[in-house]
Each structure stands twice: as C-alpha cells, then as structure tokens.
Amino acid sequence: MKLRKAKSAMFDAELTQVDGKKLELHDEQSTSVLVKDFEQQPLRVDAVKKSERKRKPSAPFTTSSLQQDAARKLGFTSRKTMMLAQQLYEGIDLGRHGATGLITYMRTDSTRLSDLALSDAREFIQAQFGADYMPAKPNVYAAGKKAQDAHEAIRPTSTELTPDSIEKYLNKDQLKLYTLIWQRFTASQMTPAVYDTMSIMIKAGDRYTVRTAGSKLKFAGFTAVYAGADTTKKEKDVLLPDLAAGDVLNLEKTLPQQHFTEPPPRYNDASLVKTLEEKEIGRPSTYAPIIETIQARGYVQRIDKHFSRRSWVSSLSICWKNISRISSM
C-alpha cells in the first residue's frame, strides 16, 4: 500500500497483522472484504524505532565465490570465468611494462591474504579514501572448515593497478572480471558502511497492524569502492518522511497481492557451484569441468542461463550421482 503524511512524499507499507495474528489471505472474496474494511480505518503511527546499522564488506574471492559472483553479476559461465581468470593470472601485455600477471592464483579455497597484500591495500586505501575508510587492524576472514589453504585468496597482484589505469590493455570481458576481483579485494580491507534505519509500526483502527522500514546511507565505508559501478548489487536508500508516534497518515493506494507457493528455482552456474561446495563434491579446480561434463554427457542442458534436465532423465538424483562420480575421477 502507499501511505502519505500530509503533503510529504508517498511511501510503501505492508499490512502484517489482523486482530493480533499474522495476515493470511485465502481467496479473492475474503481479501476484497478485508481491503474494503481496512480502507475505512483511520491510520496513525503507533511506534517509531530509529537505530544505526553497519554493513561489513565481504571476504576476498575464493574460486567458488568468484564463479558465483561472476555468474550473478556478469552472466559468465564457470568455464568462461576460469578462462578469463587464467588469462589475467598468466599475464597481460601492459605496454612498456611488458607482460604482467594481474591476479594471484585463481584456484583456491582460502580467504587468507599475505602481509604484503594487506600492506599494499592499506596504503592504497589511506591515500585514495582517507583514514576513516581504513580499519585500525586488517580485516581477517575465516576460511571454510574444509579449506586446504594452500593458496591465498584471489586478489590483484597490485592494488595500484586499478581497473581504470589498465583498461586500454584489456578486452571487455577481461576488464569486467578484473574489476570484480579488484573491487572485492580492496573493499574487503575497508571499514563497514553505516546506515541510519527507521522501523515504523502503524495502527489502522483497532484491528490492523501495518509496518514499514527505511534506511539512509550515513557513511559509505567500503561501498565507496563501488561508486558508479554496475557490477555490484548496491543497497539503495529507502527514504521515509519524518514520522513520530501519533502522526496521522493518509491511505493513497492499496495494492492487494496474492503469493503462491513456487517450486525451487532451477540451478544456474552460481547456485550449482554453491551446492557443489556445500556438498563437498569436487575441488575449486573441478567446479567448471564438472559443469561442462554434465552438459556434454547430456544430463542437463543450459536454457536462458539455467540448467534443465533432459526429458529422458527420470530424476535429479541421477544427475547428482553422476556429478559425484565425475568429481572423483
């Protein structure tokens, strides 16, 4: 629904409780009756809770998390991600600097960073963003329980090699992947982003409880690395007018919505790699080959970036059995 305080901007809110119980809409007729009754009720702010929330940066990339992020944000298959990462690792001709390896080894399950890398990142952050963006101590991230920790996390070989500074030497896809890696590593060593949040509970008559929430970025922290970038999902401000308990609100529009139970989404490269890791099938170096093999053998086919079972495959368990066998070869 859309609400408004006097002449302020409209904001979204959701009906959550009826007579103190969780809202349940069973059919169109009962929903229509409820909406008509709700629209006759006076709306008043019952409680306002303001607080501050911190959002911490993510750990630098492992093979698994790189493949997942590249699939979600760039639309790359696992095979394409690893092919491009191999090129960045082996070296790109940077003009007078010659062939230069741009990232560390890309087959790893560790989030560990070397002391040299941490020092490099902190010097860059201090110079480019200022002391407020650099934590007192380097950020350390825990590795998974099964991590072998043979190699450090995937990172740029030098933070000074910013995506902008080497853009002309990379092709379009190389630049996209390098930017993803560079931003993630640099952000991992910065301070949290800080948001001012507001949670509002609204009463509609005696029967109905409506809730809404808003947030506004107070301090950019690590999100400053992503400013102006399209490769990351940025948290947008959800602005609310200045509200206080007792304020009268106006109902501008109701938007009844019916939600149906949906089947689990089909696997894509990101979710399949995540599941392989969770089920401890294969190793970082085998995720991409596994996905290519199950397609080559006809167990699944890729349709619109999602995997679909072939019509003659009777069960997903058959596919998983073959994936387990392939990964052990």
**In Å, how far are 11, 12, 38, 259 from 23, measured between CA atoms?**
21, 17, 13, 12
Q: Which of 105, 208, 267, 299 is catalytic?
A: 105
Assigned token pair, 12: 């979204």
DSSP helix/strand/coil, 71: helix
Evaluate whether 201 touches 235 at the Cβ level (below 8 Å).
Answer: no
Assigned token pair, 261: 């139970």
Tell me the HSE value of 316 on the side-chain side, using a 13 A CA sphere.
6
Evaluate whether 222 touches 57 at the Cβ level (below 8 Å).
Answer: yes
| Helical axes 287-296 vs 269-278, angle rounded to 10° | 120
Active site residue 141: no
How far is the C-alpha of 174 from the C-alpha of 82, rounded, in Å? 11
Catalytic residue numbers? 105
